[in-house]
């Protein structure tokens, strides 16, 4: 069974269609990157998959669980890092990780905290109030809370934002190691280089639909060019395009034109 699967997933906010029949399948152990322009439905996709929102229609499953009927079970098994989320201003990183750990019912919290602080190099600020941390330090703390319970599947929106180049390299290594152990990573990003370098599969989303999906290393043209072409196609799609197969075939067609 795939780690993540959606069929005809649709989400409307009033008159606005955020997701329009999204079909998605992410294999276990995959490092999946969802690329798309602003407002294309990336955040909504992650919110639906983690049970933070309920879909208007369609079906979805995450680690063989239904995020609609059992969102808490899904959240127990996954790690989530939304875009631009900071640790609470008036807790220290140590207190915040204890807060998250207690909610998740973890044992050996102290050693887990120390381990992740060491891996992400923030031992020196464990007892500093979060409001006094730099953006990069806050991002490292948020990454630690994603992994502290050793989840099988992780959803991250922009994993490398605000990190310096050395820390970016360190986090990339951590993410690869995490997937090498058989876990699944689902990340959403605007950065082509991140997707190209890290992901084993990249999905391009535009207008609430998956318009292309491929292993970035197999692309005959660069990912940036493919992305631009597919997004343009997505925004200009008409009935004829809607009738075409949605995933690999269209990317193939686009990349060989």
Structure tokens at 165: 């180049």
Dihedral (CA of 121, 126, 128, 131) sign: positive
Distance CA 255, CA 165 (A): 31
Query: Judged by CB under 8 A, does residue 98 bind other proteins?
Result: yes
Q: Which residue(s) pair with 189 in the sheet?
A: 35
Query: Judged by CB under 8 A, does residue 17 bind other proteins?
Result: no
CB of 119 to other proteins, least distance (A): 22
Based on CB atoms, which residue is closest to other proteins, 30 or 47? 47
Determine the straight-line distance between the first and last CA of the chain, rounded to whole angstroms. Answer: 35
Residues 24-53 that bind other proteins (CB under 8 A): 50-53
Structure tokens at 253: 């067609």
- CA distances to 21, 46, 52, 231, 255 from 248, rounded to whole Å, are 17, 22, 29, 15, 10
Query: Which residues does 73 contact at the CB level (< 8 Å), separation at least 6?
Result: 65
Based on CB atoms, which residue is closest to other proteins, 51 or 159? 51
Token pair 């887990």 is found at 112
Distance CA 225, CA 245 (A): 20
Distance CA 82, CA 170 (A): 20
Structure tokens at 102: 């207690």
CB of 154 to other proteins, least distance (A): 12
Stretch that binds other proteins, among 8-16, 125-133, 217-225, 236-244 (CB under 8 A): 125-133
Secondary structure element (H or E) that encloses residue 211, with its range? strand 209-214
Q: Which residue(s) pair with 32 in the sheet?
A: 186, 201
CB of 67 to other proteins, least distance (A): 10
Query: Judged by CB under 8 A, does residue 90 bind other proteins?
Result: yes
Stretch that binds other proteins, among 18-26, 30-38, 91-99, 201-209 (CB under 8 A): 91-99
Among 82, 114, 237, 252, binds other proteins (CB under 8 A): 82
Query: Judged by CB under 8 A, does residue 80 bind other proteins?
Result: yes
Among 12, 27, 91, 253, binds other proteins (CB under 8 A): 91
Structure tokens at 245: 């197969």
Stretch that binds other proteins, among 56-64, 68-76, 162-170, 197-205 (CB under 8 A): 68-76
Among 103, 169, 224, 242, binds other proteins (CB under 8 A): 103
Based on CB atoms, which residue is closest to other proteins, 98 or 230? 98
Query: Judged by CB under 8 A, does residue 11 bind other proteins?
Result: no
Task: List contacts with other proteins (CB under 8 A).
Answer: 50-54, 71-73, 75-76, 80, 82, 84-85, 88-92, 95, 98-100, 102-104, 127-129, 131-132
């Amino acid at each position: 069974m795939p780690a993540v699967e959606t069929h005809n997933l649709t989400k409307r906010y009033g008159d606005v269609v955020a997701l329009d029949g999204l079909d998605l399948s992410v294999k276990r152990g995959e490092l999946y990157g969802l690329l798309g322009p602003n407002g294309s439905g990336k955040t909504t996709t992650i919110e639906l998959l983690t049970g933070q929102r309920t879909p208007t229609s369609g079906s979805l499953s995450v680690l063989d669980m239904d995020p609609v009927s059992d969102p808490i079970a899904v959240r127990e098994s996954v790690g989530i890092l939304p875009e631009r989320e900071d640790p609470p201003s008036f807790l220290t990183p140590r207190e915040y990780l204890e807060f998250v750990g207690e909610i998740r019912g973890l044992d050996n919290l102290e050693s887990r905290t120390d381990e992740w602080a060491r891996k992400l190099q923030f031992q020196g600020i464990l007892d500093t109030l979060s409001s006094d941390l730099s953006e990069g330090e806050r991002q490292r703390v948020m990454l630690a809370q994603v992994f502290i319970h050793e989840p099988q599947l992780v959803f991250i929106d922009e994993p490398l934002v605000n990190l310096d180049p050395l820390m970016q390299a360190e986090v990339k290594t951590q993410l690869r190691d995490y997937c090498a152990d058989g876990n699944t990573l689902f990340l959403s990003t605007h950065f082509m280089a991140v997707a190209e370098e890290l992901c084993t599969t990249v999905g391009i989303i535009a207008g609430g639909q998956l318009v292309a999906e491929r292993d970035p290393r197999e692309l005959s043209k660069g990912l940036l060019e493919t992305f631009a072409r597919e997004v343009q196609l997505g925004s200009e799609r008409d009935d004829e395009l809607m009738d075409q197969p949605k995933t690999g075939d269209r990317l193939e067609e686009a990349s060989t034109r």
